[in-house]
Chains A and B, each alone.
Chain A
Amino acid sequence: MTSTLKGITLKGSAELVAEFFSFGINSILYQRGIYPPETFSRVTQYDMSLQLTTDTKLKSYLTNVVSQLKEWLFDCTVQKLVLVITCLETSEVLERWQFDIECDKSAKEISAPREKSIKSIQDEIRSVIRQITATVTFLPLLETACAFDLLVYTDKDLEVPDKWEESGPQIIDQSEEVRLRSFTTSIHKVNSMVTYKRTDSA
């Protein structure tokens, strides 16, 4: 839809960012081995080959979260999206992939599309995903069985929808933080960073 229009509208920007999150989360789950690699299938997106899960339960969960996220991006009420990886045995948080979202609220009043080419946005997204893939080299191994969760930081006065509930921030104590690349659609700016539990050997 947005590729046919010349500029970026608020709705188009929300869709682009939601799409990025969907593919980015899948990439992280594949790279970190949260789900076995045979449950992923290869697709092409952003001029690169990415992995998408075929597990129906996981797919339905992701579509639920991403569709709600799209609404919130359109309302400019979401501030962060965090993917938390927890060890099942010890219930400790091992990794946090955090995406800060800065929304230009003037786009809500002025409905005129902004000048930014879709190609440049896709290039930026591609570099972010490549960097995520590259970070796997220095992140500590996840040896135990892990599960993941998606947290959304929103405005305090937002109405909590059905099937959602409040939760804690699940912050890692003794962590190392690495800031990754960011990309912007001229309406939404997404900063990425990864925080991981410091291993005692290091």
Chain B
Amino acid sequence: TMDIEDDTTVFSTLKSFKSFISLPDTSRNQGEPAPVQSHILQNQYLQRLQLLEAAEKVQSKTQLIQLDQEKRQMEISHKRARIELEKNATLSARDFEREVDRNQDLLGRIRRLEEREAESSQSLSEKAEANRALHRTLESLNRRVEERDGWLNTSNQTVSGLKDEIRDLKQQVQTRDNTISNQTLENQGLQEQVELQHRKYQEVSQRCQALQLASSTCSDHELKIKELERKLALHEQDVVIVKNMRSEVARVPDMDKELRQLREENVYLRETRENVILLKEETEGLRRKVERMEKMKEEMVNVELEKEKLSQKLQAWENLGQSTGLNIRVPPCPSPPGWPPGGAVVYILKLSLPPSCRSVERSKADLQGELLSLRSKALEEQKKRETQESLVRRLQKRVLLLTKERDGMRAILESYDSELSSSDYTPQLSRRLREAEDVLTKTQNHNTEMEVWRRSVCVSMELELEVMKKQQDSVAEGNPLATNEEVNTLRLKIEELEGERQRLEEQNNVLELRLERHNLQGDYNPVKTKVLHFSLNPTSMAKQQRVEEVEALRAEVECLRERLRSLQTGGAVPLAAAAGETSLSLPPSQEVLDLRKQMETAELKNQRLKEVFQRKIQEFRTVCYVLTGYQIDITTENQYRLTSVYAEHMDDSLLFKASGGAVGSGGSMQLMETDFSRTLREMVDLHLHHQKSIPAFLSAVTLDLFSRQTTV
């Protein structure tokens, strides 16, 4: 302690010294920046320095004195200490001897204990070895277990794989079976179809053969038919020819009659022609007369003109007479009644004219009358001539036709004669003639009938036209009863139709409005239009997001509820739950999985070790019991109850209490008072109090009890 104190004083003096040194530096630093006031300051400073130096010296001196004092004190103390030490040394030497004795005792004990220790260590080592062996076995077992697990897993996987394969193969087998069955069915169906087709083919071939036979027979028939048709045509031609022949033959007697008539007419016409020629001559003569008369007329006209001129001259002369005053008057001839005035002159002139004119005029008038009559006659004659000429032409035509017919008939007859050379054909001819006549009559009747029919049709048409006209007139005039009814019905119909039309118009308007409304609302015709939209459209994406959010929220809510429940039940659990189960946090990472595995393995190890320790402890305790004869139970902390093997009663037990901590760290064991221990007072006194040996006591107790047991 003195050294320590010295050190501290040295340190303190060093510190004070350093601080003292530092002070003048600071004072120096403070003095430098003011050179103006430096003299005073310097003096102060120097004073201070001197003072300081003096102080230092004083201090050092005091320190020295102190140190000397301390040194003397230390020497004194040192001496004292030496004395004490010597005392102590002597004491310690005595103690040492004692201790040596004790040491020897202890050494003996130690040797014994060491032996025991060695034994126990051996046992421990053995047990440790056993433990290790057990550990190894455990580990090997674990490894085997793991290997087996692995084998099991692999085998399970192989089993599952094989099962899958089996399933696949079974499915394949099934599908193949199905396909085979389908194909067999198809095969059967196809075979049946083939049979059907064969039968059909046979039938068809039979039909073909029949058809061929029938076609051949048909062709033969057709040839026959053609031949017969040709024969028929020839027959028909013959029939037609025969008919024509009959008709023409029937015409023959009429034609003879007509011939006679025509001849008579011819004769008559020739006679008339001669008359006509005569008449023509007469007409020519009359014409010449007419020409002469015309000439005469012209002369007459000229004469009249001259007469007019003369009359004008007369008038002029009269005028002259009037103008000149001469009364040259012509005695006014009394004009015959009816004559124009002044016509007397003319009359005179006329009278003065040669009477030849009158005669000429008379002759002219006569001739004119004759002319007229002759002209009319001539016209009549001409008409007659024309009609006769037309008749003649017609008759000539008829004659030509008849001659042609006759020639034809003759030719046919000659042909018939040439054909039918040997046979007696007159009856045939007569028959044919009759037939021809009949045909002729028939055609003529037909003709007449047709004409009659035509006329009747015309008449009927005209009648109908007249009737229609009458009807029209009647309608135009107005048949009031019939038309009024019709008009009323028509008006009613019109009104009904108009009403319907209005209704339909209204319906149309309503429908159009509805259509417009539907179009506004977005309706469409599915036949013509369809509605498309983009697959990734905002509505669908928003809906998806919503659904996902809702699900996430639900999951969160459930997790929070679980946490709440766990928190309500216990505090330690949620940690494990939070550690073990992940609710909304990230999925368990590999570290967590590894740690979990490690934890599981550690727990397993713990469990196994516990089991092993339990077993070992049990074993040890039983061994102790068996070997020592005492069952040692720990009742409470540091209290041990011993029960002997040979105890007479179950409750006979010894209680030992360990004081001063646990047994291993130097504390002592004390016997507690029990009922049983009271009975063993002697042994307690001997072994525990005197010998102070608990094992001896215990062994004595066992021997005592054993002796009691065996004797009793």
Contact = CB atoms under 8 A, between A and B. Distances in A.
B15 interface: no
A98 interface: yes
B533 A171 contact: no
Interface string A140-152: 0000010111111
A175 B528 CA distance: 25
A64 B534 contact: yes
Give the interface SS of chain B, mostly helix, strand, loop or mixed: mixed
A156 interface: yes
Given A163-B535, A165-B533, A147 B542 contact: yes
Contacts of B530: 153-156, 158, 166
Contact of A148 (B517, B526, B527, B539): B539
Interface residues of B, number: 26
Contacts of A155: 528-530
Contact of B522 (A88, A158, A160, A169): A169
Contact of A153 (B524, B537, B538, B542): B524
B546 interface: yes
A92 B541 CA distance: 16
Contacts of A139: none
A61 B534 contact: yes
Contact of A172 (B521, B532, B546): B521
Interface string A89-113: 0010000101010000000000000
Given A61-B538, A147-B542, A148-B539, A166 B532 contact: yes
A169 B523 contact: yes
A155 to B, nearest CB: 7
Interface in B353-410: none
Given A147-B542, A156-B527, A171 B534 contact: no
A82 interface: yes
Q: How large is the interface on A (under 10, 10 to 19, 20 to 34, 35 or more residues)?
A: 35 or more
A119 interface: no
B522 A152 contact: no
A169 B533 CA distance: 10
Given A88-B543, A171-B522, A172-B521, A164 B532 contact: yes
A179 B532 contact: no
Contacts of A172: 521
Contacts of B523: 169, 171
A115 interface: no
B4 interface: no
Given A91-B543, A156-B527, A151 B532 contact: yes
Given A88-B546, A171-B521, A153 B531 contact: yes
A179 B520 contact: yes
Interface centre among B526, B527, B533, B542, by most chain A C-beta atoms within 10 angstroms, is: B533
A160 B529 contact: no
Contacts of A61: 534, 536-538
A88 B533 contact: no
B677 to A, nearest CB: 87
A25 B369 CA distance: 122
Nearest to B543: A88
A152 B539 contact: no
Nearest to A178: B520
A98 B520 contact: yes
A152 B521 contact: no
A160 B532 contact: yes
A146 to B, nearest CB: 9
A195 interface: yes
A80 B71 CA distance: 120
Contacts of B522: 80, 82, 96, 98, 169-171, 195
A136 interface: no
A65 interface: yes
Contacts of A58: 538
Contacts of A152: 531-533
Contacts of B520: 98, 177, 179, 193, 195
Contacts of B524: 79-80, 153, 169
A79 B529 contact: yes
Contacts of B528: 155-156
Given A96-B522, A177-B520, A149 B538 contact: yes
Contacts of A145: 542
A129 B522 CA distance: 21
B536 A163 contact: yes
Interface in B507-522: 517, 519-522
A86 B521 CA distance: 15
Contacts of B532: 151-154, 160, 164-167
A166 B530 CA distance: 7
A36 interface: no
Nearest to A91: B543
A183 to B, nearest CB: 18
A140 B158 CA distance: 67
A147 B533 CA distance: 14
B539 A86 contact: yes
25 contacts: A61-B536, A96-B522, A98-B522, A100-B519, A147-B539, A149-B533, A149-B537, A150-B533, A150-B537, A153-B530, A153-B532, A154-B531, A156-B527, A156-B528, A160-B532, A163-B536, A165-B533, A165-B535, A166-B530, A166-B531, A167-B532, A167-B533, A169-B524, A177-B520, A195-B520
Chain A to chain B: the 4 pairs with minimum beta-carbon distance, closest first:
A147-B542, A177-B520, A147-B539, A149-B539
Given A147-B539, A153-B530, 5 more contacts: A61-B538, A88-B546, A154-B531, A163-B534, A195-B522
